[in-house]
Chains A and B, each alone.
Chain A
Amino acid sequence: MLLFLNDNLQRNQSGIEHAQIKRLNLFKKFNQPAKIVTRQYSNELHLVVEAAGIKDQDFINLFDYFQNACLVPHRIVKLQDLHLNPKWKRKADGISYNYYDGKTRVMYVRRRNDRDRSIINLQYFDHFGKLLKVVWYDNRGFASVEQLYDWNGQIAVENYLRPDGQLALQKVNFKDRRQQKATSYHLFNWHGQDWQFANFDELTRFFYDQLAVDPALNSDGPLGLVVDRVYELGWAVLNMHHRVFRVMQLHNDHVNNPSDMLHSTLNYNYQWGLDHLKDWDGIIALTPQQQADVQDRFGKQGVKIYRIPGPIVADEVLAAPHVDFAKRQRDLVVMVARLSPEKQQDHLLQAWPKILQQVPDAQLELWGYANDNFDQKLKAQVSAEQIENSVTFCGYTTDVNAVYERAQLLILPSRAEGLPLSLVEAQSHGLPIVANDIKYGPADVVIDQQDGLLTKNGDIDGLAQAIISLLTDQKRLAEFSAHAYQDSARYSAANVMKLWNELLDDMPKEVAD
Chain B
Amino acid sequence: MDFFVNQYLLGKNSSVEHAELKRLQLFKDHQAPAQLVTRDFDPVLHRTMQRFGVTNDQLTNLYDFFAQTTDYQGQPLHTEDLKLAVDYQIGTGNNFREVRDGGRLAATIYFAGGTIGQIHHIDWYDQTGSLTLRNTYDIRGFKAVDEFFGQDGHEFNARYYRPDGQMYLERYFVKSVQNTPINSLNILKNWHGQDHWFASENEMFAFFLDELNRAHGENNVFIADRPAVAIDPILHMHSKVHRYLWLPMSHVNDGQDPLKAPLNSLLQNALTENLQRWDGIIVMTQAQARVLRQRLGKSARVLTINGTPVKKAAKRVKMTDRLPNQLISVGRLGYDKQTDQLLQVFAKIKAAVPDAKLTLYGYGAPNDTANFKQLAKDLKIDDAVEFADYQYPLDAAFDQAQLLLNTSRIDAQPLAMGEALGHGVPVVSYDFSYGPDEMIVNYENGRLIALNHSASMAKAVVELLSSPAKLQQLSDHAYDDLDNISAAVTWKQWQAVK
- Closest Cβ of chain A: how far from B37's Cβ, in Å? 26
**Chain A contacts of B173 at CB under 8 A?**
151
Known: A156-B151, A165-B166, A186-B124. A151 touches B106 (CB 8 A): no
Within 8 A of B (CB), among A150-198: 150-152, 154, 156-157, 165-167, 170, 172-177, 182, 184, 186, 189, 192-196, 198
A170 touches B133 (CB 8 A): yes
Interface residues on A, range: 35 or more
B172 touches A150 (CB 8 A): no
Of all chain B residues, the one with the shortest Cβ separation from A197 is B101
B156 touches A173 (CB 8 A): no
Q: How far is the CA of A83 from the CA of B196 in the complex (A)?
A: 11
A184 touches B151 (CB 8 A): no
- Closest Cβ of chain A: how far from B307's Cβ, in Å? 38
A193 touches B128 (CB 8 A): no
A166 touches B197 (CB 8 A): no
A166 touches B165 (CB 8 A): yes
**Chain B contacts of A79 at CB under 8 A?**
none
Report which residue of A148, A151, A176, A182 has the largest number of chain B beta carbons within 10 angstroms of its beta carbon. A151
- Closest Cβ of chain B: how far from A168's Cβ, in Å? 11
Partner of A156, one of B104, B156, B199: B156
A193 touches B150 (CB 8 A): no
A184 touches B126 (CB 8 A): yes
Within 8 A of A (CB), among B396-414: none
Q: How far is the CA of A175 from the CA of B84 in the complex (A)?
A: 27
**Chain A contacts of B389 at CB under 8 A?**
none
Q: Does B130 contact A (CB under 8 A)?
A: yes
Q: How far is the CA of A194 from the CA of B193 in the complex (A)?
A: 31
Q: Does B194 contact A (CB under 8 A)?
A: yes
Q: Does A124 contact B (CB under 8 A)?
A: yes
Q: How far is the CA of A320 from the CA of B133 in the complex (A)?
A: 60
Q: Does B473 contact A (CB under 8 A)?
A: no
Within 8 A of A (CB), among B111-167: 124, 126-128, 130, 132-133, 135, 146, 148-152, 154, 156-157, 159, 165-167
Within 8 A of B (CB), among A186-234: 186, 189, 192-196, 198-199
Q: Does A127 contact B (CB under 8 A)?
A: yes
B132 touches A151 (CB 8 A): no
B184 touches A194 (CB 8 A): no
A173 touches B106 (CB 8 A): no
B84 touches A85 (CB 8 A): no
A182 touches B127 (CB 8 A): yes
Q: How far is the CA of A151 from the CA of B154 in the complex (A)?
A: 7
Q: Does A285 contact B (CB under 8 A)?
A: no
Tally B residues with Cβ within 8 Å of A.
Answer: 43
Q: Does B174 contact A (CB under 8 A)?
A: yes
Q: How far is the CA of A172 from the CA of B199 in the complex (A)?
A: 26
Query: Chain A binding site: helix, strand, loop or mixed by DSSP?
Result: strand
A156 touches B150 (CB 8 A): yes
B194 touches A193 (CB 8 A): no
Q: How far is the CA of A195 from the CA of B85 in the complex (A)?
A: 7
- Closest Cβ of chain B: how far from A86's Cβ, in Å? 9
Q: Does A30 contact B (CB under 8 A)?
A: no
B185 touches A126 (CB 8 A): yes
B150 touches A151 (CB 8 A): yes
Q: Does A494 contact B (CB under 8 A)?
A: no
**Chain B contacts of A177 at CB under 8 A?**
128
**Chain A contacts of B132 at CB under 8 A?**
157, 172, 174, 184, 186
Report which residue of B85, B146, B159, B194 has the largest number of chain A beta carbons within 10 angstroms of its beta carbon. B85
Q: How far is the CA of A176 from the CA of B187 in the complex (A)?
A: 32
Q: Does B195 contact A (CB under 8 A)?
A: yes
B193 touches A148 (CB 8 A): no
B194 touches A85 (CB 8 A): yes
Q: Does A351 contact B (CB under 8 A)?
A: no
Partner of A150, one of B83, B104, B154: B154
Q: Does B175 contact A (CB under 8 A)?
A: yes
A151 touches B174 (CB 8 A): yes
A151 touches B156 (CB 8 A): yes
- Contact surface of A with B, Cβ cutoff 8 Å: 83-85, 101, 104, 106, 124, 126-128, 130, 132-133, 148-152, 154, 156-157, 165-167, 170, 172-177, 182, 184, 186, 189, 192-196, 198-199
User: Would you list 14 pairs from A and B whose C-beta atoms are within 8 A, ordered by A residue?
Assistant: A83-B194, A85-B196, A126-B172, A127-B199, A132-B172, A148-B148, A151-B174, A152-B152, A174-B130, A182-B127, A184-B127, A186-B132, A193-B83, A193-B85
9 nearest A-B pairs in the assembled complex, by CB-CB distance: A150-B150, A126-B184, A151-B175, A156-B150, A126-B185, A127-B199, A198-B127, A184-B126, A150-B156
